[in-house]
């Protein structure tokens, strides 16, 4: 069964450093998303991406964040200058427009900013 | 208006019992209501979903009940098992390709 994969599973970085989180969505999907989940809290939307451009972004997704689909398979989230409050689980998800908006999530990357 | 309110925050059920989790929404534009199951350290896994044109959907031991007029929907887990112990999130969205708005989550523990 196809699945969304994410790397790395855990990233530790120092405050102010840049991090890139990587995702490989399900191959025939058209919509891509990043969500985050602070420990013990609900899942929050960050950004959606379709046809090589951002469809929607939340208030969390400020100028420090960017997304890119550098090739036909990878989808990345970059945080330019990490802050302590960026520590969270980051989930990539994908969906196929032809179906009922079913979004499939990857296993997540745990980002720890020290 | 974009919020989805979920209750209870936590739930303890005996093995074989019925687990019920409720969600309510305000935005009438929502037309897709999934439930996700999340185990510790894992990503949310799509469990079951419903559209507002039906009032109930059943898949195995999992049933979604949907009340359009009340703007509420609920997840029922029949014959709950210890392996069902997880955090359950309701969510809502609209159309295709749009974000999911998640509820706060319910931590379910099934006692054996």
Give tens-digit pLDDT for A61-103: 999 999 999 887 899 999 999 999 999 999 999 998 766 589 9
Q: In the prediction, which pLDDT does B9 show?
A: 97
Residues of B in contact with A55 (CB under 8 A): 97-98
Q: Which of B43, B99, B100 sits opposite A107 (nearest CB)?
A: B43
In this complex, do A102 and B34 lie within 8 Å of one another by their Cβ atoms?
yes
pLDDT confidence bin for B103, thresholds 50/70/90: very high
Which residues of B have a CB under 8 Å from any CB of A? 32, 34, 36, 41-46, 49, 51, 89, 91, 93, 95-105
Peptide bond into B8 cis (omega under 30): yes
| Nearest-by-CA chain B residue for A50 | B97
Q: In the prediction, which pLDDT does A99 show?
A: 60
Distance from C-alpha of B71 to C-alpha of A59, rounded to nearest angstrom = 26
Query: Would you say A44 and A31 are in contact if contact means Cβ atoms under 8 Å apart?
Result: no
Over 90: is that where the pLDDT of B74 sits?
yes
In this complex, do B96 and A50 lie within 8 Å of one another by their Cβ atoms?
no
The helix, strand and coil proportions of chain B, stated in percent and rounded to the nearest 5, come to 5, 55, 45
Residue corresponding to tokens 């509820």:
B103
Beta strands in chain A (DSSP E): 5-7, 10-13, 19-24, 31-37, 43-50, 53-57, 65-68, 75-79, 88-95, 104-105, 109-113
């Amino acid at each position: 069964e196809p699945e969304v994969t994410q790397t790395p599973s855990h990233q530790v970085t120092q405050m102010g450093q840049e991090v890139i989180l990587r995702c490989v969505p399900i191959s025939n999907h058209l919509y891509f998303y990043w969500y985050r989940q602070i420990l013990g809290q609900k899942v929050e939307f960050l950004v959606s991406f379709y046809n090589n451009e951002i469809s929607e972004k939340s208030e969390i997704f400020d100028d420090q964040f960017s997304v890119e689909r550098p090739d036909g398979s990878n989808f990345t989230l970059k945080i330019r200058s990490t802050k302590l409050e960026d520590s969270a689980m980051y989930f990539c998800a994908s969906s196929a427009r032809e179906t009922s908006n079913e979004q499939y999530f990857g296993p997540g990357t745990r980002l720890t900013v020290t | 208006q974009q919020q989805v309110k979920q209750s209870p925050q936590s739930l303890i059920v005996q093995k074989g019992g019925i687990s019920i989790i409720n969600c309510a929404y305000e935005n009438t534009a929502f037309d897709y209501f999934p439930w996700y199951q999340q185990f510790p350290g894992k990503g949310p896994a799509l469990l079951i979903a419903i559209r507002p044109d039906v009032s109930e959907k059943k898949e195995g031991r999992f049933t979604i009940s949907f009340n359009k007029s009340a703007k509420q929907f609920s997840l029922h887990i029949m014959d709950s098992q210890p392996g069902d112990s997880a955090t359950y999130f309701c969510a809502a969205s609209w159309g295709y390709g749009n974000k999911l708005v998640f509820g706060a989550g319910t931590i379910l523990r099934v006692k054996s």
